[in-house]
A and B are shown apart, each in its own frame.
Chain A
Amino acid sequence: MSSIVRDKKRAHAQQIKDRFISVFIGIFALVWLFPIVWTLWSSLRPYSEIRAGGVFSPPQELGLFNYTNAIDRMDLPRYFANTALITIPAVFLILLFGSLIAFVVTRYSFKFNVAMLLLFTAGNLLPAQLVFIPVFKMYLAVGDLVGDRRFLYDSPLGVILIHVAFQMGFATFVLSSYMKTIPKEISESAMIDGASVFTHFFKVMLPLLRPALASLAVLMTTWIYNDFFWALVLMATDNKRPITSALGRLQGEFVTDYNLLAAGAMIAAVPTLLVFFILRKQFVSGLTLGSTKG
């Protein structure tokens, strides 16, 4: 009897504790969202109002004028086009190369399978700063070789290549763990049927990889979209830069109209917010595929 009473008491105490924990985490969740909500709110008001009446002044004018202004004056469509020009080919190549390596490493017996995988995974973990100087000089040298100094340096192509080189390490790692879960028999029957390596990869394996590729694509798009460093150091001409790297300069330029900058930052965040609201499942599974192996 007494142990049941004790258990009941404990369950009750746990319930109270849970409610307390829930409230506590809830308050913090609101605090967490607050910076974004505040920026959103500010972006709907003119900066002059804040200068005149302080941050808590009641709004006289609310609207999307900062947004239309930002798109116009900050030249945002151009930066978005720059971003797309870098992100789309880079993600495509990362997925292609990553799945090629993972395919060969997991489906064919090599002497150095693990070593290959190690090479790519470790490469992905090296700091960007460690590779920058020689990459920069190589880009200039290749540019001189083909007679156009801006062939790789200060060009989307150069930024694409470095992203591909780095991130395909991650993609290889994730895709090879995923491929190991696909039964070997599928490959074996393809080979017995006399499929060429080419058919085996493109017709048999690639369709099976679709879920993993979708997750990786979302994750890679977010990462490359959010990249700040590479576009900053490999591009000298500001109006070739993608939106995330351009924000640095825009912040300096529009420091006199902070609410306009708020609108600009919000617009720059839209693609990542879409990931948050719509593609969350893919994003999270992409992230965790790499870190916990499924």
Chain B
Amino acid sequence: MSQLKTAVTGTQKTRRRRFFSARDKVTLGFFIGVPTFLHIALVWFPAIATIMLSFTYWTGIRLEDIQWAGLANYENIFFNSPIFWDALRVNTIWLLWFFVIATPLGVLLAYQIDRQIRGHQFYQSAYYLPVVLSLAVTGIIWNFLLRPDGFVNGLLGLPIAEAISFFGDDRYNIWVIMIMASWRHIGYIMLLYLAGLKAVDASLREAASIDGATEWQTFLKVILGAMRPVNIIILVITIIESLRAFDMVYIIYGSSGGLPILGVLVYNNIAGEGASMKGAAYAVILFLLSIVPIIAYLNQQFKEDNN
């Protein structure tokens, strides 16, 4: 355990000096060794391995079978897999929808609820409920409203033969999925933002209102500014959730690609019969798309630590 060092910074030197017994050293070694090993072995090592494997051909589990492929897997995706572009299009729409509609709605909702408008406790619960449900259950619940003999078609008075296929029809399916995804996302953003708003100094808001700012001005100029850290986190969650969407689409369409999204595309290429290293390349693309928000998040969270 040579890496265990007593602190050597100036005045703290004497205060922090420690002598570890042999038993303590072993204990400390176990305390960090076991979790770190597990984390590296099952997260970091595989992540790096996938990046390397994306430049190879490999089926089976014998290491000798790995063959160098260069950029072939990526070329295959970019030039010979039109479905990749379809999926990218859907994910982009998803991202824009979340960014322009769902996330702002969640933020505004949190703002209004935080002002304790009448009935705010009930409202908060109602919007929060979908957040605890699994996306699988969410998919089934919404299927209930949207099936050919479901609520919406019943409301429109359409018999089964003429019913709108909300999930099958390309004119509707993406928007239906967007609404379903927002059902959960808006509540999620609301919860995160509410917690942030509680931490905003109430006197800031009072000062703004004494100065004659309208609600809207207060929100834009005072609240949004004070909430910068939370804003970044919400932005990151919005991007990551819309790029990595998988569960809900999978439970409705299976691997059929009825609505192509990157998450299902990766799944189809890494699991089951279609598994190949093209899947690894897909996974790397998915990772690269979300690397900017990941770095933004880490930067935000560790800025305070370094100060």
CA distance A78 to B278 in the complex (A): 36
Knowing A25-B112, A127-B286 touch, does A197 contact B191 (C-beta < 8 A)? no
Q: Which of B76-84, B86-94, B242-250 contacts A (4 or more CB under 8 A)?
A: B242-250
Contact residues in B for A38 (Cβ distance below 8 Å): 144-145, 151
Q: Which of A26-34, A58-66, A68-76 contacts B (4 or more CB under 8 A)?
A: A26-34
Question: For chains A and B in complex, what number of residue pairs have CB atoms within 8 angstroms?
Answer: 296
CA distance A288 to B195 in the complex (A): 7
Contact of A248 among B28, B61, B112, B136 (CB under 8 A): B136
B304 close to A293 (CB less than 8 A): yes
Contact residues in A for B4 (Cβ distance below 8 Å): 108, 110
CA distance A116 to B68 in the complex (A): 33
CA distance A273 to B137 in the complex (A): 12
A140 close to B61 (CB less than 8 A): yes
Mask of A91-112 contacts with B, CB within 8 angstroms, 1/0: 0000001101101100011111
Q: Is A87 part of the binding interface, using a Cβ–Cβ cutoff of 8 Å?
A: no
**Main SS class of interface, A:** helix
The count of residues in chain A whose C-beta lies closer than 8 Å to any C-beta of chain B is 103
Q: Which of B38-46, B95-103, B166-174 contacts A (4 or more CB under 8 A)?
A: B38-46
Contact of B5 among A110, A131, A252 (CB under 8 A): A110
Q: Is B298 part of the binding interface, using a Cβ–Cβ cutoff of 8 Å?
A: yes
Contact of A103 among B24, B31, B287 (CB under 8 A): B31
B298 close to A247 (CB less than 8 A): no
Q: Is A2 part of the binding interface, using a Cβ–Cβ cutoff of 8 Å?
A: no
B32 close to A101 (CB less than 8 A): yes
Mask of B101-145 contacts with A, CB within 8 angstroms, 1/0: 000000001001101011100110011111011111101111111
Q: Is A16 part of the binding interface, using a Cβ–Cβ cutoff of 8 Å?
A: no
Interface residues on B, range: 35 or more
B246 close to A229 (CB less than 8 A): yes
Q: Is A284 part of the binding interface, using a Cβ–Cβ cutoff of 8 Å?
A: yes
Contact of A35 among B42, B154, B183 (CB under 8 A): B183
Knowing A100-B31, A132-B271 touch, does A21 contact B117 (C-beta < 8 A)? yes
Q: Is A55 part of the binding interface, using a Cβ–Cβ cutoff of 8 Å?
A: yes
CA distance A196 to B139 in the complex (A): 51
Knowing A25-B112, A110-B4, A291-B233 touch, does A130 contact B298 (C-beta < 8 A)? no
CA distance A239 to B142 in the complex (A): 25
Contact residues in B for A86 (Cβ distance below 8 Å): none
Contact residues in A for B191 (Cβ distance below 8 Å): 284, 287-288
- 23 pairs, CB–CB < 8 Å, chain A vs chain B: A18-B117, A25-B117, A29-B123, A32-B130, A123-B47, A126-B47, A131-B42, A133-B50, A134-B45, A161-B38, A165-B38, A168-B39, A173-B301, A197-B24, A198-B23, A228-B136, A229-B267, A247-B136, A247-B137, A262-B140, A273-B132, A287-B195, A291-B230
